[in-house]
Amino acid sequence: MIRQLKEEGWLRTPRVIRAFERVDRGDFVPRRYRDAAYVDEPLPIGEGQTISAPSMVAVMTELLEPGPGDRVLEIGAGSGYQSAILSLLVKKVYAIELETLLVAQASERLKKVGCNNVEIIVGDGSKGHAEKAPYDKTIMACAAEEVPAALKEQLKAGGILIAPVGGPFMQILTTLKKTGKNRFEEKQHMRCSFVPLRRSPRGR
């Protein structure tokens, strides 16, 4: 899988490649999908949510330009796979997830593989996590028409935010670089399809 991600150009940076080599995606998918874990496809993880395709995790990780001193806010922890990759590349990851069951599963998996610089928090990520702000980087794994204002506010000057921006079925993977208070430089990268950002857990 890693070889393919490199050949196809999704993975470029040696540090990022090493992180992908060290995290087994098979540890982050439900047991019945283990055989499919190394195929470049999203997979169901329960609660109607999905673990993103490895190439998407690769693109987003590369665009985030993770540095060893960074404190990162992640919205939509899902399986915890992206959090595990980031944990090897940055100082601290605060990952917010709306679904309690997914939080429990992701926390257990991360503990099992020894990621101790990831904090998974139950809640609505559209409000960010003011308590530990500001963040060097922010990564959103769910789609929104607009990047929530709280996430923009809680980003440091010079910081990078990545989000799928658009409607419920198709979005454009977008980078915002904070150039000053309330000033952002926007770059659009590619089409993508993420599950939507919701305000409350499923069925409530």
Site residues (vs ligand SAH, CB under 6 A): 49-52, 57, 75-76, 78-79, 81-82, 96-99, 102, 124-126, 141-142, 195, 197-198
Minimum CB distance to ligand SAH smaller for 81 or for 135: 81
> In whole angstroms, what is the distance from residue 172 CA to residue 56 CA?
12
Pick between residue 50 and residue 174 the one whose CB is nearest to ligand SAH.
50
- Element at 93 (helix H, strand E): strand 92-97
Q: Toward ligand SAH, which CB reaches closer, 123 or 158?
A: 123
- Minimum CB separation of residue 119 from ligand SAH in Å reads 14
Whole-number Å distance between alpha carbons of 115 and 113: 6
**In sequence order, what are the beta bridge partners of 172?**
165, 191
The nearest distance, CB 126 to ligand SAH, in angstroms, is 5
* Closest distance to ligand SAH from the beta carbon of 22 (Å): 16
Catalytic-labelled residue, pool 52, 83, 107, 126: 52
Question: Please, which residue, 158 or 200, has the CB nearer to ligand SAH?
Answer: 200
* DSSP label at residue 204: -
The yes-or-no answer on residue 52 being catalytic is yes
Work out whether the CA dihedral 97, 37, 72, 75 comes out positive or negative. Answer: negative
Tally Cβ neighbours within 10 Å of residue 199.
9
Task: Please report how close the Cβ of residue 44 comes to ligand SAH at its closest, in angstroms.
Answer: 10
Closest listed residue to residue 67, CA positions, set 15, 128, 115: 15
Active site residues: 52
